[in-house]
């Protein structure tokens, strides 16, 4: 196993993180209509009745 100093490790991970943040959104799939799981809205309703059911139905198109 190759020994690596803490300074080199931090430098390499910082460069990798910076390179990842520069990647265009087309590579990540945003321009193709894909939605990341963290961007999706999860909604649940328990015992909401008629009006609440309509509200949930209207909000289901938010994703």
pLDDT of residue 27: 64
Q: For residue 61, name the pLDDT band (cuts at 50, 70, 90).
A: confident
The pLDDT of residue 7: 92
Question: What pLDDT score does 10 carry?
Answer: 92
- Read off the pTM: 0.34
**DSSP structure string for 17-37:** HHHHHHS-HHHHTGGGT---G
The domain segmentation of the chain, as residue ranges, is 6-62
pLDDT digits (tens, 9 = 90+) for 14-55: 988 887 777 666 666 666 667 777 777 777 778 888 888 888
């Amino acid at each position: 196993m190759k020994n690596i100093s803490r300074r080199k490790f931090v430098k390499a991970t910082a460069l990798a993180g910076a390179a990842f943040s520069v990647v265009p959104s087309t590579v990540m799939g945003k321009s193709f209509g894909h939605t990341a799981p963290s961007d999706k809205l999860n909604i649940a309703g328990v015992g909401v009745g008629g009006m609440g059911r309509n509200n949930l139905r209207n909000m289901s198109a938010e994703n």
